[in-house]
Amino acid sequence: MDNLNYYFDNIHLLGIQGMKKNTIQSILERAQYLNQKKKNRKNKILKDNLVINLFFENSTRTKASFEIAAKSMSADILNISVSSSSIKKGETLIDTAATLNAMHPDFLILRHPNSGAAEMLSKHVECSIINAGDGRHEHPTQALLDAAVIKEEGINLEGLKIAICGDILNSRVARSNIYLLTTMGAQVVVIGPPTLIPKDIERMGVKVFNDLNSGLESSDIIMILRLQNERMDGSETPSKREYYSFFGINENNLKLAKKNALVMHPGPMNRGVEIASLLADNNEISLVKKQVEMGVSVRIACLEMLKLSRNKLLK
């Protein structure tokens, strides 16, 4: 491990914004290497380290994948579920963090419904914070795993045209991906109804399309976002059937993208809303399963990177 260099000088992983190109590059390469090793990637890097998974929102894949990653690095891991903790009794985030901090964890993996929660916490604890999704802000490990999957397909990120389609307004996945992909030299297009496109997003270096067909044109990758149920009942969009007929990706409108274009989805999917069921299951086009698989490898790489930073910076 000592000959690895991530060019990263922070003990927290809060977001992709501001992350250097060579840092991203090293995480992706390391994740690809680990992914190829599959079961043989177990190590003892985090032996005697305590990792706490603190999730204020429901999660299957992210939580499980962090847990598997930490365990394969021989860490002790503790999962705290919000429904059965003191948070339900009205404890503030800071108090919960202080309590956990007193147990001397080395890593705290946080998912929280409010943007900025991870950054706030990082100022009040001694352990490393990994942002596993904060509100509508960032979900850095998701963007990293998405990029690693694309690279694993033998596709170069530089010059690639990627369309991110759906609820951009409320999506942390979209924001982290935009930061990462534009840093790596990809061309990013966002597609969605005007009610789901946040103000001035063009300033983040992307092109905006309200028309699916023109947005898809000559895309190499289509990244489909999940549309939450409560946004499809006449609030931000009128209905599921209208959303599907204007923004649902199926094998037909996919033809407008480049030949051999691939489809990604961070999950969980709404079949028949943002993605046609048949397309979701077509493993020649859909990278959904590969995304989940890569999730573990990327998280091992991230824990490794932070462990190195801790060794270096906290001496």
Partner 1 sequence: MKKTLFQNIRIIDGNLNIDSNKDLLIDENSILEISEPFSIKNPDYKLIKTSEASFIIPGIIDLRVESRDPGSLHTDNLETLLKSAAKSGVTTMACLPNTKPVIDDPSMVESLSLRAQNFNLTKLLIYGAASIGLNDEKMSELGLLKQAGVVGFTNANKPIYNPLLMKRILSYSTMLDLPVIQHADIPELSMDTEATESENSTRLGLRGVPSITEAMLIERDLHLVKLTNSRYHVSHVSTKEGLKAIERAKNDGLKVTCDTSPPYFILNDLSLSNYDTRYKLSPPLRSDEDRKFVEQSLKNGIIDAISSDHSPQNRDSKLLPFAQAKPGSLGLETLFSTTLSLVNSDKLPIEKAIQLITSGPAKVLNLNLGTISKGRPADLTVIDPDKSWIVKGESMNSLSSNTCFEKMPMQGIILSCWKNGINIF
DSSP 271: B
Among 57, 76, 91, 242, binds partner 1 (CB under 8 A): 242
Cα–Cα distance between 99 and 140 in angstroms, integer?
26
200 belongs to the binding site for partner 1 (CB under 8 A):
no
Binding to partner 1 by residue 220, rule CB under 8 A?
A: no
The interface region with partner 1, picked from 159-167, 218-226, 241-249, 259-267 by CB under 8 A, is 241-249
Q: Does 253 bind partner 1 (CB under 8 A)?
A: no
- Dihedral sign computed on CA atoms, order 210, 213, 215, 216: positive
The two structure tokens encoding residue 100 = 């956990």
Contacting residue, 3, 104, 158, 234, with partner 1 by CB under 8 A:
234
Residue choice 9, 126, 202, 211 for contact with partner 1 (CB under 8 A): 211
Query: Which lies closer to partner 1 via its Cβ, residue 57 or residue 242?
Result: 242
Determine which residue in the list 105, 193, 215, 248 makes contact with partner 1, applying CB under 8 A. Answer: 193
Of 238 and 272, nearer to partner 1 (C-beta) is: 238
Residue 133: left (phi > 0), alpha (psi -120 to 50), or beta? left
What are phi and psi for residue 216, nearest 5 degrees? -75, -25
Residues 30-89 contacting partner 1, CB under 8 A: none
238 binds partner 1 (CB under 8 A): yes
- For 139, 171, 309, the CA distances from 293, given in Å and listed in that order, are 17, 22, 26
Q: Quick check: 236 binds partner 1 (CB under 8 A)?
A: yes
DSSP assigned state of 263: E
**Whole-number minimum distance, CB 201 to partner 1, in Å?**
14
Q: Is 194 in the site for partner 1 (CB under 8 A)?
A: yes
Least gap, CB of 169 to partner 1 (angstroms):
11
Determine the Cα–Cα distance for residues 132 and 109; give it in Å rounded to an integer.
6
Q: Considering only 1-9, 81-89, 193-201, 293-301, which stretch makes contact with partner 1 by CB under 8 A?
A: 193-201
Query: Residue 275, SS3?
Result: strand
Tell me whether residue 156 or residue 195 sits nearer to partner 1 (CB atom): 195
H/E stretch holding 161 = strand 161-165
- DSSP β-bridge partners for residue 77: 51
Determine which residue in the list 153, 233, 251, 281 makes contact with partner 1, applying CB under 8 A.
Answer: 233
With CB under 8 A as the contact rule, the residue among 86, 218, 229, 239 that binds partner 1 is 239
Count of residues that interact with partner 1, criterion CB under 8 A: 16
Stretch that binds partner 1, among 5-13, 160-168, 190-198, 282-290 (CB under 8 A): 190-198
Under the criterion CB under 8 A, does residue 170 sit at the interface with partner 1?
A: no
Could you tell me the CA-to-CA distances from 314 to 40, 199, 206, 307 in Å, in that order? 30, 40, 38, 10
- Residue pair 253/276 in contact (Cβ under 8 Å)? The answer is no
Residue of 32, 253, 300 whose CA lies nearest to 153: 32
Which is it for strands 50-55 and 187-191: parallel, antiparallel or unpaired? unpaired
Q: Of these, 84, 92, 235, 260, which contacts partner 1 (CB under 8 A)?
A: 235
Tell me whether residue 56 or residue 243 sits nearer to partner 1 (CB atom).
243
Return all residues near 22 (Cβ < 8 A) that are at least 6 apart.
Answer: 7
Distance separating alpha carbons of residues 224 and 134, to the nearest angstrom = 19
Q: Does 91 bind partner 1 (CB under 8 A)?
A: no
- Name the residues that contact partner 1, by CB under 8 A: 193-195, 210-211, 233-239, 241-242, 245-246
